[in-house]
Amino acid sequence: MPEPVLEIVPETVIPAHLIGQVQSKLAYVDEGIAGAQISAAGDQILIRLREGLLEDRAGELEEKVQRVVNEMAKGSFQPKVEVLEDHLDRPVPYSADPMDELLARGEVVEEETGVFTLGPLLSRLIDYFESRFLELAAHFDAQPYRFPTLMSARFLSRVDYFRAFPHSLTFATHLREDLDVINQFADQTVYGDDGLNTPAESFSRIQAMLSPAVCYHLYFSLADRPLPGGQLVATGVGNCFRYESTNLSSLERLWNFTMREVIFVGAKDFVLENREKARDFMRPIFEEIGLAYRVESANDPFFVGEFRKQAAFQNAFQLKYEIRASLPFKADTLAVGSYNYHQDFFGRHLNISLPGGSPIHTGCVAFGLERMAYAFLAQFGLDQKHWPRAVREALA
Amino acid sequence: LETINTELFNKVKNTFVEALKVEPAQVTPELQFGDLPQWDSMGHMELLMMLEEDFGVAVNAETIAQLVSIPLICAYIQEGGNA
């Protein structure tokens, strides 16, 4: 039986530059939505519904979809697209989706939606890319840090994370300290179609989240005091968690992924100059890897209510540039990293100051390790004979 | 205020008070983006949209990045650089 589909004509036509971003947010509108497709003209939305969704909920669903579209698209600002580097025409030998072969070989195994175990080939490839990113860290004499997987909810609240990205949060909890609750859990818990059958009241209050980003840990560790020496370059790798609902897909969009970051903290010029130097340093490395990519202005995936203003602000002040690698099999690109500048946002919200008393500025260069490996395999395939020499020799 | 029209400054000040929910005394002629906790990224966008309503200031990537102080905002309006 075909999936039921709801066709909606949006009250506000969705401009081309927003189609992807609105589409991804529609996943969060209702648990009854299995997927959404917006027409190229932005004037039609097809919502695929999960089986069993009552027909009388169609009106309610449409109202919520219209609300999302209006909040994101009505009066939206046309972004200024700035391309800093364009190497998308770099020739690459492969044009199929590597995922099927990776699954067939057992190189990737999906443990849960958006949660993958990676096998030896991918692990070695990721180690190699990390070694190249560590060259960047060494170039800046970045101090090594080890960050936890859990992140303080109290600190995330201080930096307004809940307002900006509520949809992608992953909460850490545990059973309440209560003998009866723990015994009940031990005796009665089963995993069913709706997940664990544990009553919500058995769980503790939320103190921690699974980290959605790496560099935040550094800023939290520096909070409420002057920055010794007035500047710092640090590096760390960590697990990140961003729940992406029905948008979770292959190694492109994982719930749990890893990022290597090089982080700059100090005065405005120090951060901005180093962000640019980092891009200059990475250019020949990407060339050696043979990656077809482009560096262009971008915005973070703010949630609906914050999206229009925050995205416009980020774009206007050139705060974020993404490294977008080509995915030849779908004639599209995938963000494998980014060059970011946060102005004095963290300095002000976390009370971190320069020796003169003004708030510190921050920036970071972040690389998504699984995405980097996936994009590389999408461009060069799994047969190492076709890989660029530098990569082939490193993995020999 | 030598180069900024006092009447214009007072009108702009009213817009600041309404957009950023601050006291009039906090809005000084030299005020810059970031000087007040309320004039952060979200406050800036609220402010520009209200300036658009009150003075016809165009809100686009250029003006968002340019209009970062009261002197710049007043000069922009004075020079007729509005939409």
**DSSP letter, residue B26:** G
Closest CA in chain B for residue A342: B41
Cα A257–A242–A19 angle (5° rounding)? 110
* Residues A312, A78: Cα–Cα separation, whole Å: 8
**A315 — contact with chain B (CB < 8 Å)?**
yes
* Residues B10, B13: Cα–Cα separation, whole Å: 5
pLDDT in tens, A168-204: 999 999 999 999 999 999 999 999 988 999 999 999 9
Mutate to test the interface with A, among B38, B45, B62 (most CBs of A within 10 A): B45
For A344, which of B34, B44, B60 is closest by C-beta distance? Answer: B34
Closest CA in chain B for residue A351: B37
* Residues B50, B43: Cα–Cα separation, whole Å: 11
Contact yes or no for A300/A322 (Cβ under 8 A): no
pLDDT tier for residue B83 given thresholds of 50, 70 and 90: very low
**Pair type for strands A208-210 and A332-341:** unpaired
CB proximity list for A11: less than 8 A, separation 6 or greater:
A66, A69, A70
Closest CA in chain B for residue A305: B42
**Which comes out higher in pLDDT, residue A55 or B34?**
B34
CB contact under 8 A, A316 and B62: yes
**Pair type for strands A108-112 and A115-118:** antiparallel
CB contact under 8 A, A306 and B64: no
Residue B58 has pLDDT above 90, yes or no: no
| pTM for the whole structure | 0.93
State whether residue A293 is helix, strand or coil: strand
What is the SS3 assignment for B46-81? Answer: HHHHHHHHHHCCCCCHHHHHHCCEHHHHHHHHHCCC
Residue B1 has pLDDT above 60, yes or no: no
For A313, which of B44, B60, B62 is closest by C-beta distance? Answer: B44
**A58 — contact with chain B (CB < 8 Å)?**
no
**DSSP letter, residue A100:** H
pLDDT at A1: 61
Residue A396 has pLDDT above 90, yes or no: no
pLDDT at A3: 74
Closest CA to A211 of A282, A141, A259: A259
Q: CA-CA distances (angstroms) from residue B65 to A106, A147, A281, A298, A359?
A: 49, 34, 28, 16, 20
Q: What is the ipTM of this complex?
A: 0.86
pLDDT in tens, A304-354: 988 988 999 999 999 999 999 999 999 999 999 999 999 999 999 999 999
Q: CA-CA distances (angstroms) from residue B8 to A20, A46, B14, B56, B76?
A: 42, 49, 10, 14, 11
CB pairs under 8 A between A and B: 42
What is the SS3 assignment for chain A? Answer: CCCCEEEECCCCCCCHHHHHHHHHHHCCCCCCEEEEEECCCCCCEEEEECCCCCHHHHHHHHHHHHHHHHHHHCCCCCCCCCEEEECCCCCCCCCCCCHHHHHHCCCEEEEECCEEEECHHHHHHHHHHHHHHHHHHHHCCCEECCCCCEEEHHHHHHCCHHHHCHHHCCEECCECCCHHHHHHHHHHCCEECCEECCCHHHECCCCEEECCCCHHHHHHHCCCEECHHHCEEEEEEEEEECCCHHHCECCCECCEEEEEEEEEEECHHHHHHHHHHHHHHHHHHHHHHCCCEEEEECCCCCCHHHHHHHHHHHHHCCCEEEEEEEEHHHCEEEEEEEEEECCCHHHHHCCEECCCCCECEEEEEEEEHHHHHHHHHHHHCCCHHHCCHHHHHHHC
pLDDT tier for residue A77 given thresholds of 50, 70 and 90: confident
**DSSP letter, residue A242:** -
**Pair type for strands A33-38 and A83-86:** unpaired
Give chain B positions within 8 Å (CB) of A313: 41-42, 44-45, 64
Is A30 buried (19+), middle (13-18) or exposed (0-12) by CB count in 10 A?
middle
Which residues pair with residue A151 across a beta bridge?
Answer: A209
pLDDT at A91: 96
- Token pair 């009854």 in the structure block, residue: A32
**Hey, what are A297's tokens?**
């202005």
Average pLDDT on A350-372 reads 97
Task: Give the lowest-confidence range in A260-269, A305-314, B8-17.
Answer: A305-314
Average pLDDT on A126-150 reads 98
